[in-house]
Amino acid sequence: MAEDTGTLPDQVVPTRDPASENGSGSPGSADPGAADVPDLDAPPERRWTWRTRLWRDKSLLIMTAPAVLLLVVFNYIPMFGSVVAFQYYDIYNGFRNSPFIGLDNFERLFRDPNFWMALENTLTISAVQLILYFPVPIALALMLNSLMSTKLRSFVQSVVYLPHFFSWVLVVTIFQQMLGGAGLVNTLLRNGGLPTIDIMTDPDTFALLVTSQAVWKEAGWGIIVFLAALAAIDPTLYEAAAVDGASRWRRTWHITLPGIRGVIVLMLVLRLGNALTVGFEQMLIQRKAVGFQASEVLDTFSYYYGVVTSDFGYGAAAGLFKGVLSMILIIGANKLAHAFGEDGLYRR
């Protein structure tokens, strides 16, 4: 975010390498409250012109260009397709010739109880995932970080990474093979003359089931970012604390967690921005198992009411609604992060 340094007030000298500033730990950068002071003065005077800044950051800009290009081609251009949400879209006429119907699709959407049910399910599953899934990679990273043997560490790391590369079909199948009605656990119970337990097809505990599947599949992958943040903490802080007789727990509480707080908040903001995306394939595969009342989320709603039944305009309206809501969520979360003095997605 080197461009942002230009907006910093005069007394802060822009650094060439913003990474070192982040790396030195958030405690220092965590009080940009000082930036509020010059508000009393005239608007911050720009030290460098736009052109010189462009020149200064040229290598960074060139490096981001391919990613930006991908974003434009695969994310921004397709956004114009959202126009379908305002049409009776017909694949044989295309969006140029399909009739415009204004907000009819949205009116229908807001009157549709199944849509509200999908939204409610999405929020429930998202909340459960936030509480039960989000802390898991952090805890895993802390545990891994405390392992001394690098060999053991990389072995454990590889093992927990692996499920990330499995498809959801495979993950759900593995769960079904282990916990399903004809799976390992229930077969053992049955052979032991015990009553079987219904895990895979119980709609009441579905949110827990999808969260545990998500933990199994993605938690290992999620630790990468936190491990990197942990590695950036200055080891002399630990040494000094240890010399002062700080216990392991106190070191974690006073050095490690504050050290990775910025990253945790960033991940939380991103997570909230994605709060309405709770796993399309996962829901699709298990729809019959638990029924639509437990598994219908906004993404599957768009799919079933848009694509499957060829009511594309309606599905697109649901998708667009989700996009707008996600946008509001991510901006809100970012503002909240700023209010708590964290960086959030970008430095204010």
Q: Are 47 and 11 a contacting pair, CB within 8 Å?
A: no
Provide the minimum distance between the beta carbon of 285 and other proteins in the complex, in angstroms, as a whole number.
7
Binds other proteins by CB under 8 A, chosen from 19, 70, 242, 308: 308
CA 329 vs CA 232, 261, 270, 333, 335: distances in Å: 29, 20, 10, 6, 10
Provide the minimum distance between the beta carbon of 215 and other proteins in the complex, in angstroms, as a whole number.
20
Alpha-carbon gap, residue 219 to 268, rounded angstroms: 14
CA 153 vs CA 99, 145, 233, 248: distances in Å: 60, 8, 18, 19
Stretch that binds other proteins, among 71-79, 121-129, 176-184, 325-333 (CB under 8 A): 176-184
| Residue 288 is a binding residue for other proteins (CB under 8 A) | yes
Query: Is the sign of the CA dihedral 210, 298, 222, 22 positive or negative?
Result: negative
Binds other proteins by CB under 8 A, chosen from 180, 222, 273, 319: 180
| Residue 298 is a binding residue for other proteins (CB under 8 A) | no
List the interface residues with other proteins, window 105-164 (CB under 8 A).
Answer: 114
Provide the minimum distance between the beta carbon of 241 and other proteins in the complex, in angstroms, as a whole number.
51
Which CB atom, from 179 or from 268, has the smaller least distance to other proteins?
A: 179
- Provide the 8-state DSSP code for 254: I
Rg (CA), the chain: 25
User: Which H, E and C letters describe 177-215, residue by residue?
Assistant: HHHCCCCHHHHHHHHCCCCCCCCCCCHHHHHHHHHHHHH
| Residue 86 is a binding residue for other proteins (CB under 8 A) | no
Provide the minimum distance between the beta carbon of 117 and other proteins in the complex, in angstroms, as a whole number.
10
Residues that bind other proteins (CB under 8 A): 88, 90-96, 99, 101, 114, 169, 173, 176, 180-183, 186-187, 190-191, 200-201, 203, 285-289, 291-293, 296, 304-306, 308-311, 314
